[in-house]
Amino acid sequence: MTSNNSGVPDGFPKIALISVYNKTGIDIFARSLVDMGWQIVSSGGTATFLKDSGVPVTDTADITGLKAMLGHRVATLHPTIHGGLLALNTPEHLKELADNNIPWIGLVCCDFYPLEEEVVGPEATRESVIEKTDIGGPTMIRSGAKGRRITICDVDDRELVIEWLKSGEPDREVFLDNLAAKAEFIISRYCSISAGYTSSGKYQGLSIERVTECVYGENAYQKPAYLVKESGNIDLLSLYNWQHVAGNAPSYNNWCDIDRMMQIITHIGAGFDKNFNKVPYVAVGVKHGNACGAAFADTPEEAISKMLSGDLRAIFGGSIMVNFPIDEVLADKLLHDQMKDEKRRLLDVVTAPLFSPEAIEILSRKKGKCRLVVNPSIEKAGLSSLDISRRFRYVRGGFLQQPNYTFVLDFSDELFVVANGEMSEEVKPDILLAWAVGATSNSNTISITKKGRLMGNGVGQQDRVGAGKLAVARASDAMELVGVENLAEYLDGSVAYSDSFFPFPDGPEYLIEHGIKTIFSTSGSVTTN
């Protein structure tokens, strides 16, 4: 059968069904449709709102012959509505519509009761959640999607649809596919929220949306690989909110490093925020997901210099994150500080709240090998910046799930105990730095800090003594690279953090032998104090 604009069969008017909870701008949307020859059908509060806004509206009751009933639980759940949405453009279906006085509905715009807000609200009850569970809206949207109608359930798509209609409906089938897919996606998540609440978390859904494609995964043969986002996530520091401003697109491994750097830098900021009510300038460097440099200071220049000197060799091709904007002076420092013969550091990723145009030019490498990524929300990020979302780890056939790591060291907590001697105020910042780095590195870890910088990070070891020896070895390597000769002097007065308790005295004894004066770890061993 032939059709006029918007896929509406000849002889049928263009009818748009609108029923929304969020009425912001819906009058503008409806008026734009009217200007293009559409008739508006609506019910309840939406119909009243549009009429009061001067938009001509036909009430659904005038089409169905049945007023809303059961406290408006049933208004659009009617064959006239769903027949108008599901009918195919075939002689048989069009005849049935005509015989039953059912209009062809060419567009449906619905959003749903705010179920998620109700579920997470402090006063949510079984009854309140049931009342906020939308039935009519999702049903109309699914009917529209199956019927290949123009289907809108995202507020952001209203203007997009108007522009598409005005431009002559280009790539119609692809456009409708995208709207239908989004509709099914949003509804599936909506239903999973209800299932999760009703089952007390037994049945849960993980709704993810592809953001960008990576060249490949962790290894070259692992492709395709993508960065995806969890639907409903509003965290400003989520990876998809970081803007790529220069260089090649970040790889799978780059994104992993950026995520780890955020864990480190936000825990450093949170620790200082909680204990000192301020967040210093912080710089973090990682290689293969673990910190090889970390520092705090009163100036950005000092933070960068101290961070780089933690491991000049590893950071040479590593990734860096700072919690302050990068200008041309700081960009030059990132590349040349402590480098010999005017060579430049070949950084892989640099992340910051902002880069000046001059900084972007200075940091850029041939063939785009230095990726620059920005997010203003990382600037001086403190307690409120911690990631509080649940964490998943894939295991064969499913996932392990746990809460995120949100613990923040608090020196005033009664559980924080000084076992031997006294702890000076001067050593607290170094304890915070060692804890933040070690707690966000791969276990088993021992992290050594001194005067606001990471001296050595011994990560991923099978035993505590091995982690301590690796941390000292890393410090020894860093010492030689900066031209210091005496390890005992270099480490004298340092702080060491262990991400779990020492089962025997040999670990602490090794650290003490190499100049560590303060050791921070959890309790639990029966052989050490």
CB 237 within 8 A of CB 385: yes
**190 and 61 assigned to the same domain:** yes
Name the residue range of residue 310's domain: 245-374
pLDDT < 70 regions, the chain: 1-5, 524-529
pLDDT digits (tens, 9 = 90+) for 264-316: 999 999 999 999 999 999 999 999 999 999 999 999 999 999 999 999 999 99
**162 and 266 assigned to the same domain:** no
**134 and 254 assigned to the same domain:** no
In a domain, 388, yes or no: no
Whole-angstrom Cα distance, residue 207 to residue 437? 31
CATH at residue 442: 3.40.140.20
DSSP for 438-475, written as a single string = HHTSPSS-EEEEETTEEEEEE-S-SSHHHHHHHHHHHH
Whole-angstrom Cα distance, residue 477 to residue 58? 78
Q: What pLDDT is recorded for position 3?
A: 57
Whose tokens are 């049935």? That residue is 96
Task: Give 291's Cβ-side CA count (13 Å radius).
Answer: 40
In a domain, 209, yes or no: no
Amino acid at residue number 340: K
Please state whether beta strands 391-395 and 39-42 pair in parallel, antiparallel, or not at all (unpaired): unpaired
**417 and 369 assigned to the same domain:** no
In a domain, 218, yes or no: no
In a domain, 474, yes or no: yes
Return the sign of the alpha-carbon dihedral for residues 419, 424, 426, 429.
Answer: positive
**SS3 at position 151:** strand
Neighbours of 66 (CB within 10 A): 13
Whole-angstrom Cα distance, residue 268 to residue 296? 9
Element containing residue 373 per DSSP (H, E): strand 371-374
Q: What pLDDT is recorded for position 525?
A: 55
Q: What pLDDT is recorded for position 71?
A: 74
Q: What pLDDT is recorded for position 516?
A: 94
CATH at residue 169: 3.40.50.1380
Q: What pLDDT is recorded for position 133?
A: 86
Q: How far is CA 407 from CA 267, 269, 291, 439, in A?
A: 9, 13, 19, 9
In total, how many domains does the chain have?
3
Q: What pLDDT is recorded for position 527?
A: 47
CB 295 within 8 A of CB 453: yes
The region, left, alpha or beta by phi > 0 then psi within -120 to 50, assigned to residue 52 is alpha
In a domain, 525, yes or no: no
